[in-house]
Chain A
Amino acid sequence: MSGSPLVEIDKASKIYRSPRGATTAIADVTVQIGDGEFVAVVGPSGCGKCTLLKCVAGLEPLSSGEIRVRGERVDGPPDGLGAVFQRDVLMDWRTALDNVLLPAEFLGLRRADFLPRARELLGLVGLADRANSYPWELSGGMRQRVAIARALLCRPVFLLMDEPFGALDALTRDELNVELQRIWLAEKNTVLFITHGIEEAVFLADRVLVMDRDPGRVALDLEVALPRPRPIAVRDEPAFAAHTAKVRAAMPRAGASRAA
Protein backbone atom coordinates (compact mmCIF):
# COMPACT_ATOMS: atom_id res chain seq x y z
CA MET A 1 0.00 0.00 0.00
CA SER A 2 3.03 2.25 -0.07
CA GLY A 3 3.43 4.78 -2.88
CA SER A 4 6.60 6.59 -3.95
CA PRO A 5 9.04 6.94 -1.05
CA LEU A 6 8.42 10.00 1.10
CA VAL A 7 11.54 9.46 3.19
CA GLU A 8 14.81 8.00 1.99
CA ILE A 9 17.40 7.27 4.65
CA ASP A 10 20.62 6.59 2.81
CA LYS A 11 23.65 5.12 4.65
CA ALA A 12 22.91 7.40 7.60
CA SER A 13 25.42 7.42 10.45
CA LYS A 14 25.46 9.54 13.57
CA ILE A 15 28.40 9.75 15.92
CA TYR A 16 28.10 11.81 19.09
CA ARG A 17 31.46 13.23 20.07
CA SER A 18 32.33 14.51 23.50
CA PRO A 19 35.61 15.06 25.35
CA ARG A 20 35.05 11.65 26.96
CA GLY A 21 34.94 9.85 23.65
CA ALA A 22 32.72 9.13 20.66
CA THR A 23 29.47 7.12 20.61
CA THR A 24 28.25 5.69 17.35
CA ALA A 25 24.49 5.96 17.82
CA ILE A 26 23.52 4.69 14.36
CA ALA A 27 25.70 3.30 11.59
CA ASP A 28 24.90 2.90 7.91
CA VAL A 29 21.14 2.84 8.26
CA THR A 30 19.38 2.60 4.91
CA VAL A 31 15.57 2.61 4.94
CA GLN A 32 12.86 3.92 2.66
CA ILE A 33 9.46 4.95 3.92
CA GLY A 34 6.65 5.11 1.39
CA ASP A 35 4.15 7.94 1.22
CA GLY A 36 1.32 7.04 3.56
CA GLU A 37 3.18 4.15 5.14
CA PHE A 38 3.11 3.34 8.85
CA VAL A 39 6.55 2.17 9.97
CA ALA A 40 7.25 1.01 13.51
CA VAL A 41 10.74 0.71 15.00
CA VAL A 42 11.54 -1.60 17.89
CA GLY A 43 14.88 -2.32 19.48
CA PRO A 44 16.71 -2.52 22.80
CA SER A 45 17.36 0.60 24.86
CA GLY A 46 20.23 2.67 23.50
CA CYS A 47 20.15 1.27 19.96
CA GLY A 48 19.66 4.71 18.45
CA LYS A 49 15.89 4.92 17.94
CA CYS A 50 15.63 8.48 19.30
CA THR A 51 18.70 9.44 17.33
CA LEU A 52 17.20 8.13 14.09
CA LEU A 53 14.02 10.08 14.74
CA LYS A 54 15.90 13.31 15.55
CA CYS A 55 17.89 13.01 12.35
CA VAL A 56 14.80 12.37 10.23
CA ALA A 57 13.16 15.40 11.87
CA GLY A 58 16.13 17.53 10.85
CA LEU A 59 16.91 18.36 14.47
CA GLU A 60 20.33 16.65 14.54
CA PRO A 61 22.79 16.69 11.65
CA LEU A 62 24.07 13.34 10.38
CA SER A 63 27.76 12.49 10.64
CA SER A 64 27.63 10.83 7.23
CA GLY A 65 25.06 9.68 4.72
CA GLU A 66 21.93 11.52 3.74
CA ILE A 67 18.24 11.72 4.55
CA ARG A 68 15.83 12.97 1.90
CA VAL A 69 12.19 13.90 2.35
CA ARG A 70 10.25 14.25 -0.93
CA GLY A 71 13.57 14.00 -2.70
CA GLU A 72 15.05 16.96 -0.84
CA ARG A 73 17.99 16.66 1.49
CA VAL A 74 16.96 17.26 5.11
CA ASP A 75 18.85 20.06 6.84
CA GLY A 76 16.05 21.31 9.08
CA PRO A 77 12.54 20.17 9.96
CA PRO A 78 10.65 19.37 6.74
CA ASP A 79 7.18 20.71 5.91
CA GLY A 80 4.06 19.22 7.45
CA LEU A 81 5.86 17.56 10.35
CA GLY A 82 4.30 16.54 13.65
CA ALA A 83 6.21 15.03 16.55
CA VAL A 84 5.78 13.35 19.91
CA PHE A 85 9.06 13.05 21.80
CA GLN A 86 9.97 10.47 24.38
CA ARG A 87 9.44 13.09 27.09
CA ASP A 88 6.20 15.07 26.90
CA VAL A 89 7.88 18.54 27.04
CA LEU A 90 4.70 20.39 27.96
CA MET A 91 5.02 24.04 28.88
CA ASP A 92 4.29 24.56 32.56
CA TRP A 93 2.98 28.05 31.93
CA ARG A 94 0.24 26.92 29.56
CA THR A 95 -2.96 24.99 30.17
CA ALA A 96 -3.46 21.63 28.46
CA LEU A 97 -5.55 23.35 25.77
CA ASP A 98 -2.93 26.04 25.18
CA ASN A 99 -0.25 23.38 24.96
CA VAL A 100 -2.26 21.55 22.30
CA LEU A 101 -2.59 24.81 20.35
CA LEU A 102 1.15 25.49 20.30
CA PRO A 103 1.92 24.09 16.82
CA ALA A 104 -0.66 26.42 15.26
CA GLU A 105 0.88 29.41 17.04
CA PHE A 106 4.40 28.49 16.01
CA LEU A 107 3.37 27.83 12.42
CA GLY A 108 1.83 31.29 12.33
CA LEU A 109 -1.72 29.99 11.87
CA ARG A 110 -4.79 31.52 13.46
CA ARG A 111 -5.38 30.09 16.89
CA ALA A 112 -9.14 30.55 16.66
CA ASP A 113 -9.28 28.32 13.57
CA PHE A 114 -7.81 25.43 15.53
CA LEU A 115 -9.70 25.83 18.79
CA PRO A 116 -12.50 23.37 17.91
CA ARG A 117 -9.98 20.79 16.70
CA ALA A 118 -7.88 21.20 19.82
CA ARG A 119 -10.91 20.51 21.99
CA GLU A 120 -11.91 17.56 19.83
CA LEU A 121 -8.41 16.05 20.12
CA LEU A 122 -8.40 16.50 23.89
CA GLY A 123 -11.69 14.63 23.93
CA LEU A 124 -10.19 11.93 21.74
CA VAL A 125 -7.40 11.28 24.26
CA GLY A 126 -9.93 11.33 27.11
CA LEU A 127 -9.03 14.72 28.57
CA ALA A 128 -12.02 16.84 27.56
CA ASP A 129 -12.59 17.86 31.18
CA ARG A 130 -8.94 18.76 31.82
CA ALA A 131 -8.55 21.37 29.05
CA ASN A 132 -7.91 24.10 31.61
CA SER A 133 -5.57 22.12 33.86
CA TYR A 134 -1.90 22.99 34.00
CA PRO A 135 0.65 20.27 33.20
CA TRP A 136 1.83 19.99 36.79
CA GLU A 137 -1.74 19.14 37.79
CA LEU A 138 -1.80 16.14 35.42
CA SER A 139 -0.49 12.60 35.83
CA GLY A 140 2.36 11.29 33.68
CA GLY A 141 0.00 9.43 31.36
CA MET A 142 -2.31 12.44 31.03
CA ARG A 143 0.65 14.64 30.11
CA GLN A 144 1.68 12.17 27.44
CA ARG A 145 -1.83 12.21 26.01
CA VAL A 146 -1.75 16.02 25.82
CA ALA A 147 1.51 15.71 23.88
CA ILE A 148 -0.16 13.29 21.43
CA ALA A 149 -3.09 15.67 20.89
CA ARG A 150 -0.60 18.49 20.29
CA ALA A 151 1.21 16.48 17.61
CA LEU A 152 -2.04 15.84 15.71
CA LEU A 153 -3.34 19.42 15.82
CA CYS A 154 -2.24 20.66 12.41
CA ARG A 155 -2.93 17.36 10.61
CA PRO A 156 0.73 16.54 9.94
CA VAL A 157 1.45 14.67 6.71
CA PHE A 158 4.51 13.17 8.36
CA LEU A 159 4.20 12.11 11.97
CA LEU A 160 7.14 11.13 14.19
CA MET A 161 6.26 9.39 17.45
CA ASP A 162 8.84 8.33 20.03
CA GLU A 163 7.27 5.88 22.50
CA PRO A 164 4.11 7.98 22.71
CA PHE A 165 2.18 5.40 24.73
CA GLY A 166 5.05 4.41 27.01
CA ALA A 167 3.56 5.98 30.12
CA LEU A 168 0.05 4.57 29.72
CA ASP A 169 -1.75 1.61 31.26
CA ALA A 170 -2.51 -1.36 29.00
CA LEU A 171 -6.18 -0.53 28.54
CA THR A 172 -5.69 3.12 27.58
CA ARG A 173 -2.85 2.04 25.38
CA ASP A 174 -5.11 -0.38 23.48
CA GLU A 175 -7.76 2.30 23.05
CA LEU A 176 -5.27 4.82 21.74
CA ASN A 177 -3.74 2.21 19.40
CA VAL A 178 -7.15 1.68 17.81
CA GLU A 179 -7.71 5.46 17.74
CA LEU A 180 -4.33 6.13 16.12
CA GLN A 181 -5.06 3.51 13.45
CA ARG A 182 -8.40 5.20 12.75
CA ILE A 183 -6.79 8.64 12.47
CA TRP A 184 -4.07 7.27 10.21
CA LEU A 185 -6.61 5.53 7.96
CA ALA A 186 -8.62 8.76 7.73
CA GLU A 187 -5.75 11.20 7.21
CA LYS A 188 -3.42 8.93 5.22
CA ASN A 189 -0.30 10.44 6.74
CA THR A 190 3.10 8.83 6.95
CA VAL A 191 4.09 7.66 10.42
CA LEU A 192 7.43 6.69 11.96
CA PHE A 193 6.56 5.13 15.29
CA ILE A 194 9.08 4.07 17.93
CA THR A 195 8.01 1.64 20.63
CA HIS A 196 9.22 -1.01 23.04
CA GLY A 197 6.06 -3.04 22.52
CA ILE A 198 6.37 -5.76 19.87
CA GLU A 199 2.60 -6.37 19.86
CA GLU A 200 1.93 -2.66 19.53
CA ALA A 201 4.37 -2.43 16.61
CA VAL A 202 2.81 -5.34 14.72
CA PHE A 203 -0.72 -4.14 15.46
CA LEU A 204 -0.13 -0.63 14.10
CA ALA A 205 2.46 -0.91 11.39
CA ASP A 206 2.71 -1.77 7.71
CA ARG A 207 6.35 -2.52 8.35
CA VAL A 208 8.28 -3.25 11.52
CA LEU A 209 11.99 -2.41 11.70
CA VAL A 210 13.98 -4.22 14.37
CA MET A 211 17.15 -2.41 15.40
CA ASP A 212 20.28 -3.83 16.97
CA ARG A 213 22.83 -1.81 18.89
CA ASP A 214 26.56 -1.14 19.10
CA PRO A 215 26.35 0.28 16.58
CA GLY A 216 22.66 0.99 15.96
CA ARG A 217 21.56 -0.66 12.73
CA VAL A 218 18.52 -2.28 11.15
CA ALA A 219 18.48 -6.03 11.86
CA LEU A 220 15.10 -6.90 10.35
CA ASP A 221 12.62 -5.17 8.04
CA LEU A 222 9.33 -7.06 8.26
CA GLU A 223 6.24 -6.43 6.16
CA VAL A 224 2.96 -6.79 8.14
CA ALA A 225 0.28 -7.72 5.64
CA LEU A 226 -2.68 -8.00 8.00
CA PRO A 227 -5.92 -6.47 6.67
CA ARG A 228 -7.17 -3.07 7.93
CA PRO A 229 -8.84 -1.84 9.95
CA ARG A 230 -7.41 -4.25 12.50
CA PRO A 231 -9.59 -4.85 15.55
CA ILE A 232 -7.83 -5.20 18.89
CA ALA A 233 -8.74 -8.93 18.79
CA VAL A 234 -6.48 -9.40 15.77
CA ARG A 235 -3.75 -10.03 18.33
CA ASP A 236 -5.30 -13.44 19.13
CA GLU A 237 -5.02 -14.63 15.55
CA PRO A 238 -2.28 -17.03 14.44
CA ALA A 239 -1.19 -14.71 11.60
CA PHE A 240 -0.54 -11.99 14.15
CA ALA A 241 1.39 -14.33 16.42
CA ALA A 242 3.52 -15.41 13.45
CA HIS A 243 4.59 -11.80 12.96
CA THR A 244 5.37 -11.11 16.60
CA ALA A 245 7.36 -14.34 16.74
CA LYS A 246 9.54 -13.21 13.83
CA VAL A 247 10.13 -9.83 15.45
CA ARG A 248 10.92 -11.40 18.81
CA ALA A 249 13.39 -13.78 17.21
CA ALA A 250 15.21 -10.88 15.57
CA MET A 251 15.34 -8.83 18.79
CA PRO A 252 18.84 -8.87 20.22
CA ARG A 253 18.98 -10.44 23.67
CA ALA A 254 19.73 -8.06 26.51
CA GLY A 255 23.47 -7.55 26.80
CA ALA A 256 24.22 -10.18 24.13
CA SER A 257 26.16 -7.87 21.83
CA ARG A 258 28.16 -6.43 24.71
CA ALA A 259 29.01 -9.78 26.30
CA ALA A 260 30.71 -11.01 23.12
Chain B
Amino acid sequence: MSGGASFRAHLVDTLWVVGVFAFVCAVWEFAVKAFDLPVFVLPPVEDVVADLLSAPGLFASHALFTVGMALAGFAVAASVGLLMAFAVVSSRILDRILMTFLALLHSVPKVALAPLFVIWLGAGFEPKIAIAAMMSVLVIVVDAVAGLRSVDPEMVNLARVYRASPLAIMLKVRLPAALPHIFASWKVAISLSLIGAIVGEYVGGQRGLGYLILVSQGSFDTPRVFASVLLLSVIATALYYLIALAERMFAPWHVSRRAGGH
Protein backbone atom coordinates (compact mmCIF):
# COMPACT_ATOMS: atom_id res chain seq x y z
CA MET B 1 0.00 0.00 0.00
CA SER B 2 2.78 2.44 0.95
CA GLY B 3 4.80 1.04 -1.98
CA GLY B 4 2.20 2.18 -4.51
CA ALA B 5 1.85 5.57 -2.86
CA SER B 6 5.59 6.15 -2.76
CA PHE B 7 5.91 5.06 -6.42
CA ARG B 8 3.32 7.67 -7.39
CA ALA B 9 5.12 10.28 -5.30
CA HIS B 10 8.37 9.43 -7.11
CA LEU B 11 6.65 9.69 -10.46
CA VAL B 12 5.24 13.11 -9.59
CA ASP B 13 8.69 14.24 -8.37
CA THR B 14 10.32 13.06 -11.57
CA LEU B 15 7.71 14.77 -13.74
CA TRP B 16 8.34 18.03 -11.91
CA VAL B 17 12.10 17.78 -12.47
CA VAL B 18 11.65 16.99 -16.16
CA GLY B 19 9.14 19.81 -16.54
CA VAL B 20 11.33 22.46 -14.94
CA PHE B 21 14.32 21.24 -16.94
CA ALA B 22 12.36 21.47 -20.18
CA PHE B 23 11.23 24.98 -19.26
CA VAL B 24 14.82 26.12 -18.65
CA CYS B 25 15.88 24.66 -22.03
CA ALA B 26 13.01 26.44 -23.74
CA VAL B 27 13.94 29.82 -22.22
CA TRP B 28 17.57 29.20 -23.16
CA GLU B 29 16.65 28.35 -26.77
CA PHE B 30 14.34 31.38 -26.93
CA ALA B 31 17.10 33.72 -25.67
CA VAL B 32 19.58 32.45 -28.27
CA LYS B 33 17.09 32.94 -31.12
CA ALA B 34 15.51 36.19 -29.91
CA PHE B 35 18.75 38.04 -29.19
CA ASP B 36 20.73 36.31 -31.92
CA LEU B 37 23.55 35.50 -29.48
CA PRO B 38 26.86 34.29 -30.92
CA VAL B 39 27.76 30.67 -30.20
CA PHE B 40 30.75 31.55 -28.02
CA VAL B 41 28.47 33.54 -25.68
CA LEU B 42 25.54 31.18 -25.44
CA PRO B 43 25.41 28.16 -27.73
CA PRO B 44 22.02 26.74 -28.69
CA VAL B 45 20.92 23.63 -26.83
CA GLU B 46 21.41 21.37 -29.87
CA ASP B 47 25.07 22.43 -30.22
CA VAL B 48 25.73 21.41 -26.63
CA VAL B 49 24.04 18.07 -27.09
CA ALA B 50 25.81 17.52 -30.41
CA ASP B 51 29.17 18.20 -28.76
CA LEU B 52 28.38 15.71 -25.99
CA LEU B 53 27.54 13.05 -28.57
CA SER B 54 30.54 13.85 -30.78
CA ALA B 55 33.08 12.74 -28.18
CA PRO B 56 31.40 10.39 -25.70
CA GLY B 57 34.70 8.64 -24.87
CA LEU B 58 36.45 11.88 -24.03
CA PHE B 59 33.63 13.11 -21.78
CA ALA B 60 33.30 9.72 -20.14
CA SER B 61 36.97 9.44 -19.24
CA HIS B 62 37.14 12.98 -17.81
CA ALA B 63 33.84 12.49 -15.96
CA LEU B 64 35.05 9.21 -14.50
CA PHE B 65 38.18 10.89 -13.21
CA THR B 66 36.19 13.69 -11.57
CA VAL B 67 33.73 11.27 -10.00
CA GLY B 68 36.65 9.20 -8.71
CA MET B 69 38.30 12.22 -7.11
CA ALA B 70 35.03 13.41 -5.56
CA LEU B 71 34.20 9.96 -4.18
CA ALA B 72 37.72 9.41 -2.85
CA GLY B 73 37.69 12.82 -1.16
CA PHE B 74 34.25 12.17 0.24
CA ALA B 75 35.30 8.74 1.55
CA VAL B 76 38.31 10.27 3.30
CA ALA B 77 36.14 13.03 4.81
CA ALA B 78 33.43 10.57 5.86
CA SER B 79 35.80 8.21 7.65
CA VAL B 80 38.06 10.84 9.17
CA GLY B 81 34.98 12.90 10.05
CA LEU B 82 33.30 10.01 11.83
CA LEU B 83 36.44 9.21 13.83
CA MET B 84 36.72 12.88 14.77
CA ALA B 85 33.06 12.90 15.84
CA PHE B 86 33.67 9.83 18.05
CA ALA B 87 36.61 11.65 19.63
CA VAL B 88 34.63 14.87 20.15
CA VAL B 89 31.76 13.01 21.83
CA SER B 90 34.01 10.90 24.07
CA SER B 91 36.28 13.55 25.51
CA ARG B 92 35.83 17.14 26.66
CA ILE B 93 39.44 18.00 25.83
CA LEU B 94 39.30 16.50 22.32
CA ASP B 95 35.97 18.29 21.84
CA ARG B 96 37.66 21.64 22.54
CA ILE B 97 40.75 20.95 20.45
CA LEU B 98 39.05 19.44 17.39
CA MET B 99 36.11 21.85 17.25
CA THR B 100 38.46 24.85 17.50
CA PHE B 101 40.62 23.37 14.77
CA LEU B 102 37.59 22.79 12.54
CA ALA B 103 36.24 26.30 13.17
CA LEU B 104 39.63 27.61 12.11
CA LEU B 105 39.55 25.47 8.97
CA HIS B 106 36.02 26.69 8.30
CA SER B 107 37.11 30.33 8.45
CA VAL B 108 39.68 29.76 5.67
CA PRO B 109 38.17 29.85 2.17
CA LYS B 110 39.34 26.40 1.16
CA VAL B 111 39.27 27.23 -2.54
CA ALA B 112 41.99 29.78 -1.84
CA LEU B 113 44.19 27.01 -0.48
CA ALA B 114 43.95 24.93 -3.65
CA PRO B 115 47.14 26.28 -5.32
CA LEU B 116 49.03 25.56 -2.10
CA PHE B 117 47.97 21.93 -2.27
CA VAL B 118 49.40 21.68 -5.76
CA ILE B 119 52.74 22.96 -4.42
CA TRP B 120 52.63 20.44 -1.60
CA LEU B 121 51.19 17.42 -3.33
CA GLY B 122 51.91 17.94 -7.02
CA ALA B 123 49.54 17.79 -9.99
CA GLY B 124 48.38 14.17 -9.57
CA PHE B 125 45.25 12.96 -7.82
CA GLU B 126 46.47 13.68 -4.26
CA PRO B 127 45.72 17.44 -4.13
CA LYS B 128 42.29 16.87 -5.71
CA ILE B 129 41.35 14.28 -3.12
CA ALA B 130 42.70 16.51 -0.36
CA ILE B 131 40.65 19.51 -1.48
CA ALA B 132 37.54 17.38 -2.03
CA ALA B 133 37.93 15.97 1.49
CA MET B 134 38.57 19.35 3.09
CA MET B 135 35.48 20.83 1.49
CA SER B 136 33.15 18.33 3.13
CA VAL B 137 34.76 17.25 6.39
CA LEU B 138 33.33 20.06 8.51
CA VAL B 139 29.66 19.46 7.76
CA ILE B 140 30.20 15.74 8.31
CA VAL B 141 31.79 16.19 11.74
CA VAL B 142 29.29 18.77 12.95
CA ASP B 143 26.26 16.68 11.96
CA ALA B 144 27.76 13.41 13.21
CA VAL B 145 28.48 15.01 16.59
CA ALA B 146 24.92 16.33 16.78
CA GLY B 147 23.63 12.87 15.86
CA LEU B 148 25.80 11.00 18.36
CA ARG B 149 24.64 13.39 21.07
CA SER B 150 20.97 13.14 20.09
CA VAL B 151 20.61 9.62 21.48
CA ASP B 152 17.99 9.11 24.20
CA PRO B 153 19.96 9.24 27.51
CA GLU B 154 17.68 6.53 28.87
CA MET B 155 19.04 4.22 26.16
CA VAL B 156 22.58 4.89 27.34
CA ASN B 157 21.38 4.14 30.89
CA LEU B 158 20.00 0.84 29.69
CA ALA B 159 23.32 -0.07 28.11
CA ARG B 160 25.11 0.91 31.34
CA VAL B 161 22.83 -1.39 33.37
CA TYR B 162 24.28 -4.26 31.33
CA ARG B 163 27.80 -2.92 31.75
CA ALA B 164 28.30 -2.03 28.11
CA SER B 165 31.82 -0.81 27.37
CA PRO B 166 32.24 2.78 26.14
CA LEU B 167 33.08 1.33 22.72
CA ALA B 168 29.90 -0.76 22.67
CA ILE B 169 27.84 2.28 23.70
CA MET B 170 29.42 4.26 20.88
CA LEU B 171 28.97 1.63 18.18
CA LYS B 172 25.72 -0.06 19.21
CA VAL B 173 23.78 2.80 20.79
CA ARG B 174 25.07 6.17 19.64
CA LEU B 175 26.10 5.35 16.08
CA PRO B 176 22.80 3.79 14.93
CA ALA B 177 20.90 6.64 16.57
CA ALA B 178 23.12 9.10 14.68
CA LEU B 179 22.75 7.49 11.25
CA PRO B 180 19.84 9.69 10.10
CA HIS B 181 21.90 12.81 10.92
CA ILE B 182 24.97 11.32 9.29
CA PHE B 183 23.15 10.52 6.05
CA ALA B 184 21.62 13.99 5.94
CA SER B 185 25.12 15.50 6.17
CA TRP B 186 26.46 13.12 3.53
CA LYS B 187 23.87 14.34 1.05
CA VAL B 188 25.30 17.84 1.41
CA ALA B 189 28.91 16.68 1.70
CA ILE B 190 28.96 14.70 -1.53
CA SER B 191 28.23 17.80 -3.65
CA LEU B 192 30.80 19.82 -1.69
CA SER B 193 33.37 17.13 -2.48
CA LEU B 194 32.44 17.34 -6.15
CA ILE B 195 33.10 21.10 -6.05
CA GLY B 196 36.43 20.38 -4.34
CA ALA B 197 37.43 17.93 -7.06
CA ILE B 198 36.63 20.46 -9.80
CA VAL B 199 38.61 23.20 -8.05
CA GLY B 200 41.50 20.76 -7.78
CA GLU B 201 41.31 20.12 -11.52
CA TYR B 202 41.22 23.86 -12.25
CA VAL B 203 44.53 24.46 -10.52
CA GLY B 204 46.59 21.53 -11.73
CA GLY B 205 46.76 18.38 -13.81
CA GLN B 206 45.31 17.40 -17.17
CA ARG B 207 42.34 15.24 -16.37
CA GLY B 208 38.77 15.67 -15.21
CA LEU B 209 35.81 17.81 -16.24
CA GLY B 210 37.31 20.80 -14.40
CA TYR B 211 40.37 20.56 -16.63
CA LEU B 212 38.13 20.10 -19.72
CA ILE B 213 36.18 23.27 -18.85
CA LEU B 214 39.44 25.19 -18.41
CA VAL B 215 40.99 24.19 -21.78
CA SER B 216 37.69 24.63 -23.65
CA GLN B 217 37.38 28.11 -22.19
CA GLY B 218 40.92 28.84 -23.41
CA SER B 219 39.89 28.05 -27.00
CA PHE B 220 36.44 29.71 -26.72
CA ASP B 221 34.79 26.33 -27.22
CA THR B 222 31.70 27.38 -25.28
CA PRO B 223 29.51 24.40 -26.30
CA ARG B 224 32.09 22.09 -24.71
CA VAL B 225 32.10 24.20 -21.52
CA PHE B 226 28.32 23.92 -21.36
CA ALA B 227 28.42 20.20 -22.10
CA SER B 228 30.86 19.68 -19.22
CA VAL B 229 28.76 21.75 -16.83
CA LEU B 230 25.65 19.83 -17.85
CA LEU B 231 27.44 16.57 -17.21
CA LEU B 232 28.56 17.80 -13.81
CA SER B 233 24.97 18.59 -12.82
CA VAL B 234 23.91 15.11 -13.83
CA ILE B 235 26.80 13.66 -11.80
CA ALA B 236 25.92 15.75 -8.73
CA THR B 237 22.33 14.52 -8.89
CA ALA B 238 23.39 10.91 -9.34
CA LEU B 239 25.78 11.11 -6.36
CA TYR B 240 23.00 12.55 -4.21
CA TYR B 241 20.74 9.64 -5.05
CA LEU B 242 23.59 7.21 -4.39
CA ILE B 243 23.68 8.48 -0.79
CA ALA B 244 19.89 8.31 -0.56
CA LEU B 245 20.12 4.68 -1.71
CA ALA B 246 22.74 3.92 0.94
CA GLU B 247 20.47 5.52 3.54
CA ARG B 248 17.66 3.26 2.46
CA MET B 249 19.93 0.24 2.87
CA PHE B 250 21.62 1.13 6.15
CA ALA B 251 18.98 3.17 7.99
CA PRO B 252 15.75 1.56 6.77
CA TRP B 253 13.96 2.20 10.07
CA HIS B 254 14.46 5.91 9.60
CA VAL B 255 13.37 5.94 5.96
CA SER B 256 10.27 3.84 6.55
CA ARG B 257 9.22 5.92 9.55
CA ARG B 258 9.54 9.04 7.48
CA ALA B 259 7.46 7.52 4.69
CA GLY B 260 4.96 6.11 7.20
CA GLY B 261 4.42 9.60 8.59
CA HIS B 262 4.72 8.63 12.27
Contact = CB atoms under 8 A, between A and B. Distances in A.
Chains A and B are bound partners:
yes
Interface of A: 54, 57, 59, 76-77, 81-83, 85, 87, 89, 91-93, 102-103, 105-107, 134, 136, 154
A89 B176 contact: no
Interface string B231-262: 00000000000000000000101101100101
Nearest to A87: B154
Contacts of B158: 83, 85, 89, 102
B257 A92 contact: yes
A91 B155 contact: yes
Contacts of A82: 161
B251 A93 contact: yes
B7 interface: no
B162 A106 contact: yes
B155 A103 contact: no
Contact of B161 (A77, A87, A105, A136): A77
Contacts of A57: 157, 161
B163 A93 contact: no
A154 B161 CA distance: 12
A136 B157 contact: no
A81 B164 CA distance: 12
Q: Is the interface of A mostly helix, strand, loop or mixed?
A: loop
7 contacts: A91-B155, A93-B251, A102-B162, A106-B162, A106-B168, A134-B253, A136-B257
B253 A89 contact: no
A107 B155 contact: no
Contacts of B163: 77, 106-107
A87 B173 CA distance: 16
B28 to A, nearest CB: 46
A10 B144 CA distance: 42
B260 A105 contact: no
B247 to A, nearest CB: 13
A93 B253 contact: yes
B1 to A, nearest CB: 14
A230 B260 CA distance: 44
A54 B154 CA distance: 10
A77 B160 contact: yes
A81 B260 CA distance: 36
A85 B154 contact: yes
A103 B159 CA distance: 8
Given A59-B161, A106-B172, 6 more contacts: A103-B161, A105-B168, A106-B164, A107-B162, A136-B260, A136-B262
A92 B180 CA distance: 12
B159 A106 contact: yes
Nearest to A57: B161
